Structure formats: C-alpha cells, structure tokens
Amino acid sequence: MSKAYGIIAAFDDTREIFQACEQVRDAGYTQWDALTPFPIHGLDRAMGLRRSKVPRLSLIGGIAGFCTGMALIWWTGAADFRLIVGGKPYFSPMFAFPISYELSILFTAFATILGMFFLNRLPMHYHPVLKQPQFARATSDRFFIVIEATDPKFDAARTRALLVQAGGKDIVEIEG
C-alpha cells in the first residue's frame, strides 16, 4: 500500500535552496515543491513558477461587489418600494457609490481569500510531508525540496543523485 510519495532533501539556508531549486528546474522536473518557513524572494522564478492567478479572481470579486451594490440600491429604491426621501431621485449612482465601493472591497477580499485557498487546494489537513516530524522544521527554520514520484522524470536513483549534487542533506524517501 505504501507507495512512495517522493524524495525529500533538506537545505540549511536560503542561498542553498535557491540554487538547488534552479538545478531541479533546469533538470526538467515539474511535480515538485520547495517547503520554506517564509516566502523567499525570487524563489518563484528559481522554481520556474508563473505569476499567481489570484488577481483574476480578485478582479471578478470586485466587479461583482460593485454591481451588487448598485443593483441592490437601484432595486430596493427604484423598483421594489419607490419612496421619495428628501425630494431626491429614486436612484442615482452618486449616492449609491459609497456602498457599492465598500461592497467592491468586501467581495474582492472574499474572492481573494477563497481564491487563494482554492488555488492552493487548501484546506488539506492530510499530506505526506506533514506525516513525519522531521519535516516540521519546514515551518520553522529549515528548507526542503520534495520531488514527487508522479513526476514523469522521476527515477529513485537519478532524482536522489540530483538532490545530492544540488547540496541536499538528509535525503529520504517519503511514503504516500
């Protein structure tokens, strides 16, 4: 049952993992990841990752929020229950603006956070790299590269050799 999830290697500082990521990227791997306690400047490019897609979802959220505000105020004031207040028009984008503005921000925030969770496939409380205690240092003070067995270029011996060459320490296979 315990099929290998992949091979993991540890690194002690940001410079080491940065260079190792460039080597793994250049070796053509795609199903792999770096585990770091904090975001490292430039590591996305060293890993060959493209720009995050979160902003697209945020934009959709913002537009939806603005339209919700305008539609709500138009429908309640000018369609559902027409009531003259202070001799002002039933609807005007002017007085509807502040609330639409706030709702744009609110919906952008929701879209951004939910979008981030969705794109990251979180919450995911079970994951092979969370199983073994030595990798807990990935959230504190150590850096790891894990290459998954599902990667088309994965080969237990050659992948291990690559990680050794890249300066990885404590290289082990982890179970899925």
Partner 1 sequence: MSAHPDSAAVGAPAVLAEVKPAVLPRPVLVANNRNYTWITDKICSLIEGPTPTWWWVCFIVAIFVASFTIAGLTYLVGTGVGVWGHRSPVNWAWDIVNFVFWIGIGHAGTLISAILCLLRQKWRTSINRAAEAMTIFAVACAGLFPLFHVGRVWMAWYLFPISNANAIWQNFRSPLEWDVFAVSTYGTVSVCFWYVGLIPDLAVLRDRFTLAGHNLRAWLYGLFAMGWRGSNRHWRNYEMAYLILAGISTPLVLSVHTIVSFDFAVSLLPGWHTTIFPPYFVAGAIFSGFGMVLTLMLPLRAIYHLEDLITQYHIDNICKITLATGTMVGYAYAMEFFIAWYGSNPYEGFAFINRAFGNYAWAYWIMITCNVITPQFFWFKAVRQNTTLVWVLSIFVNVGMWFERFVIIVTSLARDFLPSSWGYYSPSIVEIFTFFGTFGVFSTLFLLFIRFLPIMPMAEIKAVTQQADPHGGGDRH
Structure tokens at 172: 């082990």
Our finding on whether 171 is near partner 1 (CB under 8 A) is no
Our finding on whether 54 is near partner 1 (CB under 8 A) is yes
From first CA to last CA, the distance across the chain in angstroms is 9
Amino acid, res. 30: T
Instruction: Give the number of other Cβ atoms within 10 Å of residue 146's Cβ.
Output: 20
Q: Which is nearer to partner 1, 112 or 153 (CB)?
A: 112
Whole-number minimum distance, CB 41 to partner 1, in Å? 6
- Nearest in space to 64 (alpha carbons), one of 106, 22, 97, 124: 106
Q: Measure the CA–CA gap between 52 and 37, rounded to whole angstroms.
A: 19
Q: Which is nearer to partner 1, 91 or 157 (CB)?
A: 91
The CA distances from residue 68 to 60, 99, 110, 113, 122, in Å, are 12, 10, 14, 19, 28
Q: Which is nearer to partner 1, 125 or 157 (CB)?
A: 125
User: Total number of residues binding partner 1 (CB under 8 A)?
Assistant: 72
**Binder of partner 1 out of 40, 63, 149, 171 (CB under 8 A):** 40
Name residues contacting partner 1, limited to 56-115 (CB under 8 A).
58, 62, 72-73, 76-77, 80-81, 83, 85-86, 88, 95-96, 98-99, 101-103, 105-106, 108-110, 112-113, 115
Name residues contacting partner 1, limited to 9-28 (CB under 8 A).
13-15, 17-18, 21
Which residue bears the tokens 């504190």?
A: 140
Whole-number minimum distance, CB 26 to partner 1, in Å? 16
Our finding on whether 31 is near partner 1 (CB under 8 A) is no
Whole-number minimum distance, CB 65 to partner 1, in Å? 9
Q: Beta 32-35 vs 143-148: how paired, if at all?
A: antiparallel
**Binder of partner 1 out of 1, 124, 152, 157 (CB under 8 A):** 124
Evaluate whether 169 touches 10 at the Cβ level (below 8 Å): yes
